[in-house]
Every structure is written in structure tokens, then in C-alpha cells.
Amino acid sequence: MDAPADASPRTLDDLPAPTGLPLLGNLLQMDIARLHQVFEAWEAELGSPYRLRLGPRQAYVSADPELLQTVLRERPERYRRLRQIEDCIAELGSNGLFSVEGAAWRPQRRLVMEALNATHFRAFFPTLQAITARLHRRWSAAAAAGTTVEMTHDLMRYTVDVTTALAFGEDPNTLETDGGVIQDPLAVVFPRLMARINAPLPYWRFVKLPVDRRLDRAMAHIHAHVDALIERARRRMREQPTEAPRNVLEAMLRARDQPNSGLDDAAVHANVLTLLLAGEDTTANTLAWTVYFLAQDAGWQQRLHDEACATLGDAPVVRAFEQLRELDLFEAAANEAQRLKPIVPLLFLEPNVDAVLDGVALPAGTPMFFVLRPAMLDERHFGRPADYRPDRWLHDHPLGAHDARAFAQFGAGARVCPGRHLAGVEIRLVLTMLARSFRFTLATDPASIGEVLAFTMTPSQMPVRLQAR
């Protein structure tokens, strides 16, 4: 949304800014674990857009969903992710499709999209069904014993099992394994990555603190795990050749081996790691926040239970791939949770070239922070925005305004999330199983469950009591 040719654009200096300190500006107010809440509070005070002073630099902050859509749809040519994101992720040896920019993006996009297309969810469905049944057994045992379930922990294990089985052709069965699982080092990565991206200086390149040495150990463990996955896949491909790839990793390796593919082993390794990290974190946290709302709403639990029974009958888990199409309300329940508790509350971007956005001149390289939740809580975009109402996502929703463009949890444009369809399948499977078989309540005061920004927005805890139906 550029300014008319005859208009003089404003500069960043023309925008309001929160009070800060001389020289440092707002740097000391950047509380990383709750950065989204800090930005939301400033937006409520100053309006949108506003600017931040980060030492000698200035940043642009907006909560306008239309401007965000403009920027997302003009990636990767005119805008990109904040440069620090690529730099920090590349340092960890994981510069895959999520973070890579420039000329390297298109071959990696082709690699991942072709690999995902080569793995059909219908063929993979029996494995998905088996892993979901495993989670049902775990929760049934907890309900029978009267023990509290730490929901985020269990859902992380579930999503790792699904991602590893689908993408790499191996089922680690972390749901039935205690200790020594890959989640332990994975859990270290995102909080440290968030801290590094927002650090005023890259101190870790010169001196390593204990948290940085812990990250190094975690990454060494993860890289070794990924190398072993790739080596075993290569061995299976040699010893048990097939006409078509059996999983995402095999499809990646075949694509990498094509003449003039523009890809190398490092690109495969980085995207295996990206799948492992993203597949664990985003879907698990979406499900955890959905449980947070449903656990406090017996009416919606009952409605989802009735829907699940109508589709599943006496079965605890979806029996056939075709039944997934009947479960729109369950994915709607997760969308509604993300609207109120977005797992992506902030997007960090910058212009590749000098740009004018909504009448504000932004020099190339200006940090741009988009705050997503305010628009999703605005009645101009969603009717009765404070209410948890999954049915607003159905075609015949009763709540008035519904602006899906204000909901950007999967991105938009050329760089829309390639894993969104798998996430939808996992969400439908888990929530139907949970609603069909259990009543559930939070085992703590909801006010004690905080929002922690660790790249995605995670619950500080999610203890739940289950009761078998």
C-alpha cells in the first residue's frame, strides 16, 4: 500500500514512540519471553504504526492486517524475514526453507513442496491413526490412575512421533519412551534462538555463556540425530529400492540427486532439521492452547463430543481417511484458539529495497515488527471478538464480521506455510479422540497459565485432569 506519487511520505521520526532511555532507546524494555505483550501494550497506547528506538537503529511496528498481507505477498522480492533470523539460524546449521532468503529460497521451496507432495496423507493415514491410538492409551491410563497430564509435554511427543514417521520413515515412539528422547535437546533451541535474534550484540560469537554452551550441546545432539536419519534413509534406498519415495526424506534425497538440482547435502540436512523443529513446536502448541479454552467450556466440550460420536461411533480414533472431511468443527476449534492465543503473535521482517508503506518511508534493512493479535481482537474483523466461538469459522457462522485476512497464522503469499495441511490432519485426529473419550478440566487456575514467547507462543504450563466418558 504505497503512498500516492504526489504525497510526501512520512519518516520514522514522524511516528510516535514509547518512552525510552538516552542512547539505548527501548532496548532494555525488550523482555524477550513476553515481547509480544510488550508490543501489544505499546500498540494499545500509541496506535498503529509506531516506532521503536533500538540503540542507534529505529524499527517500524504495525498491527494493520492489510499492510501485513501486502508485505507477505511481496516476499521474497521486496521484503524478507529480518536478517538476524537467517543469520542466527544459519549459525546453528539449520538454514532451511523457513529462514533461507535470496536465490537459495526457490530451489529449497521446490525441494520441500515436491517432497511433501510425494508423501500422500492417505497412504500415511494408518500410521497417523496408530500414533493417535497410542496417545489415547496414554491418556486413558492417566484418567484411570487419576494423574494429571501435562498436556504440552504429551502433545510435543505426539507431534515428534508423527513428524518423524511421516517425514523420515521412522517411528521413534516417544509417547511410550521415558527420557533420552529428541524433545529434550529440541526444547533448548527456540528460547535461545529468540534471545539471539533480539540481542543488541552477537556476544556469543566472542564469548560463550553457560546457556550458549548448552545450546551448542543440544545442536550437536540434534545434528547427529539428523545425520543418522539421512544415512539410514540412504541405506534403505540402496538396499530396498522403490519406484516412488516412501517418505519426505527419500523424496528430498531423490530431488537433491537430480542433475542441476541446485541443491546439496547441506540443504537436505537443513530442511530435515527444519521439519523436525517446526513439526514439533507449532502444532503441539496450537493443540495445547485449544485444550486451554475447551477445558474451561463444558458446552463446547459437549458439542465436540457429540460431533465426534456422530463420526467415530464407538471407535476412539478416526477409522478412515475420508472421515477427516466431516470434522471441520475440530479444526475450527483450533483456529479460534489461535485467534485468541496466537502461536505466531509477532512477525519480524525488513524491506530489501527502500520502500514506502502506507505513507511511511522505510529505508532498506529497517526492522519491521508486525503485531498480529490486536486485529484478531478487533470487532471490525471478528464479531464478538472476546468470545471463544469455533463456529465463527464455519460457513454459516452466526457472529457477524469475519475477516480471515486478519488471521495470518500460516502466513500468506509465496511463503505460506507448507506444513499447514499436515497440521490440520493432526488437529482433527487429536481433538476428535480427546472429545470422544474424555471430559477434561484444567488442574490449575487459568490465570496461572502464562504466555511465553519462545519463537512461537507457548503456554507456561498446561496441567489437565482427564475423566473417561
* C-alpha cell recorded at residue 287: 493443540
* Radius of gyration of the chain, Cα coordinates, nearest whole angstrom: 23
The pLDDT tens digits of the residues spanning 1-39 come to 554 545 689 999 999 999 999 999 999 999 999 999 999
* Residue from 350, 273, 306 nearest 93 by CA: 273
pLDDT value at residue 178: 67
* C-alpha cell recorded at residue 359: 505513507
The pLDDT tens digits of the residues spanning 414-452 come to 777 777 888 889 999 999 999 999 999 999 999 999 999
* 144 vs 242 pLDDT, higher one: 144
Q: How many CA atoms lie within 13 A of 395 on its CB side?
A: 1
Buried b (16+ CB within 10 A) or exposed e, 72-97: bebbbeebbbbbbbbebbeebbbbbb
* Residue from 313, 336, 466 nearest 394 by CA: 336
* C-alpha cell recorded at residue 113: 513442496
Q: Residue 134: CB partners within 8 Å, gap ≥ 6?
A: 161, 173, 175, 176
Give the DSSP per-residue string, 125-176.
HHHHHHHHHHHHHHHHHHHHHTPPEEHHHHHHHHHHHHHHHHHHS----GGG
What would the mean pLDDT of 169-178 be, rounded to a whole number?
Answer: 84
The Cα 105–Cα 80 span in angstroms is 11
User: In the predicted model, is pLDDT for residue 348 greater than 90?
Assistant: yes
Q: 247 and 167 in contact (C-beta within 8 Å)?
A: yes
Q: Which amino acid is at 391?
A: D
Q: How many CA atoms lie within 13 A of 25 on its CB side?
A: 14
459 pLDDT band, cuts 50/70/90, is very high
263 pLDDT band, cuts 50/70/90, is confident
Q: Which amino acid is at 288?
A: A
Percentage above 70 pLDDT, the chain: 95
Q: 68 and 370 in contact (C-beta within 8 Å)?
A: yes
User: In the predicted model, is pLDDT for residue 370 greater than 70?
Assistant: yes
How many other CB atoms sit within 10 Å of the CB of residue 39?
Answer: 25
User: In the predicted model, is pLDDT for residue 117 greater than 70?
Assistant: no
The Cα 262–Cα 103 span in angstroms is 10
The Cα 242–Cα 300 span in angstroms is 46
Q: Residue 241: CB partners within 8 Å, gap ≥ 6?
A: none
Q: Which amino acid is at 310?
A: A
Q: 27 and 54 in contact (C-beta within 8 Å)?
A: yes
- Strands 57-62 vs 368-371: parallel, antiparallel or unpaired: parallel
- Cα dist from 258 to 116, 120, 230, 347, 448, whole Å: 17, 21, 17, 35, 53
What would the mean pLDDT of 367-378 be, rounded to a whole number?
Answer: 96
User: In the predicted model, is pLDDT for residue 109 greater than 80?
Assistant: no
* C-alpha cell recorded at residue 323: 472421515
Residue 369's DSSP bridge partners are 61, 348
Q: Residue 175: CB partners within 8 Å, gap ≥ 6?
A: 131, 134, 135, 138, 154, 157, 158, 161
The pLDDT tens digits of the residues spanning 62-78 come to 999 999 999 999 988 89
